[in-house]
Amino acid sequence: MSSFSGFKYYLVLIDDLTHYVWTFPLRNKSDVFQCLIAFHAYVHTQFQLPVLAFQTDNGKEFDNLAFWRHLEHHGATLCLSCPYTSSQNGKAEHIIRTLNDCVRSLLIHAGLPDADWVEALSTATHLLNRRPCRASGQTTPFQLLLGAPPSYNHLRVFGCLCYPNQASTAPHTLDPRRVFFSVTRLITMDTDVLICKHAASSHLAMLFLMKPSFLFVLKLNFVSRQ
C-alpha cells in the first residue's frame, strides 16, 4: 500500500537493551543502506555510544558488501539469523506485529484511508516508546534510553478534528478565519489551533451537535506495505 506521500515500506530498528523503537518510511528498498548509515551517525552523535552489532534476517537490503564494509570500518558486526528461522529474530518480529496492530487500530478508529499508514505508524511508534512493556517492567523504553520519564500532556486523539487559525494569512478580513483539518499525527496544543481532541475525523457530524465550549545492540527488520 503506497502512502499519500509515496512511501511503500518501512524500516524498524530496536535497541536490544531498552526496547526503544525507531521506524523509517521508505519509498524504495534501495533506500535502506543510506537510512542505516544516517542512523549509525545519529546514534554516535546523540548518545556518544558505539553500535556493537546489527542483528537482522538475510535480506539483501542488509546482507550486502557496502553494509559489511561500513560495519567493518566502525568495528561493528552483522549478525544474521538462519534462513527460514524467524524465531531467532523474535524481538523484531514481535514489535512489527505490535506496530501493525496499532496502525490498523488507529486507522479504523479514526476512519482514515489506508494511505495514511505513515502518519499512523509515526503515532504508533511514539506511543509504544512511552508505555511500559513486559520486558522492561514498569519503566518505559523512553525512560530507559533517555533517563527521564516521558510526558503525556501533549497526546491527542489520532485523527481528531482541529481548526487552524488563518487570520494572519487571509487576504482580507472577510475570508474564513478557521478551516477544517483532520489531524493525522500527534501535535501539541497551540494558541492558533482549536483542537476537538475527543472527536475523530469520522465523527464530523457529531461536531455540530456539540455546544461551544547505554551500548547499543540493534535488531533490524524490513517490512513491505505492498
The rounded mean pLDDT for the chain is 79
Tell me the pTM. 0.77
Segment 30-46 shows an average pLDDT of: 94
Q: 9-153+215-224 has which CATH code?
A: 3.30.420.10
Residue pLDDT, tens place only, 58-96: 888 899 999 999 999 999 999 998 888 878 888 888 999
Residue pLDDT, tens place only, 194-214: 555 555 554 443 333 333 334
Which candidate, 94, 83, 79, places its Cα nearest to that of 14? 94
Residue pLDDT, tens place only, 105-143: 999 988 888 999 999 999 999 999 999 888 777 899 999
Q: In the chain, what are the domain boundaries?
A: 9-153+215-224, 160-207
